[in-house]
Structures are given as C-alpha cells and as structure tokens.
Amino acid sequence: QVQLVQSGGEVKRPGASVTFSCKASGYTFTSYGISWVRQAPGQGLEWMGWIHTFSGNTNYAQKFQGRVSMTTDTSTSTAYMELRSLRSDDTAIYYCTKNSGMSAWYPSDFWGQGTLLTVSS
Amino acid sequence: QSVLTQPPSVSAAPGQKVTISCSGGSSNIGNNYVSWYQHLPGTAPKLLIYENNKRPSGIPDRFSGSKSGTSATLGITGLQTGDEADYYCGTWAGSLNAGVVFGGGTKLTVL
C-alpha cells in the first residue's frame, strides 16, 4: 500500500532554515510527482510547489520562490523540501503528497502524516 | 484570502444530504478539473473526488461531485457522524506560477 512517512516536528528560530523529508513506499517513486502543501493554524490548505521525481524539475508557488527548494533521492524514494529565512508565519503543518500522475496539475491522491513546524524566538 | 470560495460551514442531521459549493473563475475551475478533499482533525487530508466527479477506490458513493462553468459542488448523502470534517476543493490555477489553488475549507457539522 502507498505510504508517505514524513520526518518529525521541528522548532526553529526566525531566520533559520528547515529541511523536511518524506519517504515514499508502495509505488514506483519516479512515476509520480510529489507536491508539498501546508496548513497554518486555523487556516486552509496552501500549495507550495511540486517536483518531477524522475527529472528533478521543480515548480514553486510564486509566494515561496527564492525561499524553497525541493529535491529527491531516487535511491531511497525520499523527497525533501528546504524552507529558508523562516518567519513566525511559517508555523504550520507541512504535508508531502503524491500526485496521481507525474505533472503538477494532477490531484494529490495520497498524503503524508504531516510535520509540524514551529517558528518562534 | 483563498482563490476559491467555499462557505465556512454547513450542517445537517444524520441521514440527511448536504452540498458544499466551490466558486472560482475561468482561469482555474472554468478550465480545469476540480478535486475535493476531506480533512479530519489530526489526520492527513484524503482525496474524495477527482476530475470533477470521479471517486477513488474505497470512497463510498455517498460522496459525489459536479462542476458547472466556474463552480463545483460536493454532495454527501446519508450523513454520518464520521463525516464531520473540513472539506476543501482544489484545482489547477492555470499557470505554473500559480500552481494549485484551494478553497478556504468548509466545516461540516453533523447535528
């Protein structure tokens, strides 16, 4: 069965960087895209970007361009997302998701359990 | 401020039917498929509907989706207490810069 297992919660200071990991299993990793979505406290879902797991091509939401990097390690079927220059409003639960196809416009048919990031001084 | 507009909350009694609307524009819903997600507290969101009206395997036919023009609707029949959750619509925004857009979410209360 498809599983996306994310790394544990993080607490960071403003200005720091954080890297999230997402280990996939139960499907061919390089056949489907990976997207990242976050949810701030009391807020809705927010799409951050997508990575083509075979080529490594990425597409980031304009809001995060320059602050986010998405990568994969195909040898371990793991996706990573680095978020830099953290601010307090980056406090949120971050989800990795498997796209139902390779391209970014395919819906997210499986989601990781989420990683809570708290940014506080 | 979400790109797609959903009602903040809906409610109905067990066994009844409820609909949740999602309104967008020509660049997003008008020209792309709509998906719906169920988000139970403390769990990961789950895909309920894709390509406007298709259900992934395992999703009961109590859940249905439709789209007309720049709006979409999620329908849930035979409401159960376990259906209490936040529901989100989502779609491609029509450009790589904008990516995927979601509605603000609708809290369903089963009275």
* Predicted confidence (pLDDT) at residue B96 exceeds the cutoff of 80: no
Assess A71–B contact: CB distance below 8 Å, yes or no: no
Mean pLDDT of B24-34: 94
Q: Least CA distance to A58: which residue of chain B?
A: B96
* Predicted confidence (pLDDT) at residue A79 exceeds the cutoff of 90: yes
* Predicted confidence (pLDDT) at residue B48 exceeds the cutoff of 80: yes
Assess B45–A contact: CB distance below 8 Å, yes or no: yes
Assess B94–A contact: CB distance below 8 Å, yes or no: no
Helices and strands (DSSP H and E) totals, chain A: 0, 11
Confidence of residue B2 (pLDDT cuts 50, 70, 90): confident
Assess B52–A contact: CB distance below 8 Å, yes or no: no
CB pairs < 8 Å spanning A and B: 62
**Contact: A113, B50; criterion CB under 8 Å:** no
* Per-residue pLDDT tens digits for B58-77: 999 999 999 999 999 999 99
* Predicted confidence (pLDDT) at residue B100 exceeds the cutoff of 80: yes
* Predicted confidence (pLDDT) at residue B25 exceeds the cutoff of 80: yes
The share of chain A scoring above pLDDT 70, in percent, equals: 100
B99 contacts in chain A (CB < 8 Å): 47, 49-50, 59-61, 104
A92 contacts in chain B (CB < 8 Å): none
Confidence of residue B41 (pLDDT cuts 50, 70, 90): confident
Q: Tell me, what's the pLDDT at B94?
A: 79
Assess B103–A contact: CB distance below 8 Å, yes or no: yes
Lowest mean pLDDT among A31-40, A73-82, B45-54, B87-96: B87-96
* Predicted confidence (pLDDT) at residue A115 exceeds the cutoff of 90: yes
Assess B65–A contact: CB distance below 8 Å, yes or no: no
Alpha carbon distance A38, A93 (integer Å): 6
* Per-residue pLDDT tens digits for A4-57: 999 999 999 999 999 999 999 999 999 999 999 999 999 999 999 999 999 999
> Strand pairing partners for A33?
none
Q: Least CA distance to B45: which residue of chain A?
A: A111
* Predicted confidence (pLDDT) at residue A65 exceeds the cutoff of 80: yes
Cβ contact A58:A81 at 8 Å? no
B97 contacts in chain A (CB < 8 Å): 61-62
Confidence of residue A112 (pLDDT cuts 50, 70, 90): very high
Residue type, A27: Y
**Contact: B98, A61; criterion CB under 8 Å:** yes
Confidence of residue B97 (pLDDT cuts 50, 70, 90): confident
The share of chain A scoring above pLDDT 90, in percent, equals: 98
Q: CA separation (Å) from B6 to A15, A26, B23, B54, B75?
A: 34, 34, 7, 20, 13
B35 contacts in chain A (CB < 8 Å): 107-108
Helix (H) or strand (E) holding B73: strand B71-76
Confidence of residue B1 (pLDDT cuts 50, 70, 90): confident
Mean pLDDT of A75-103: 97
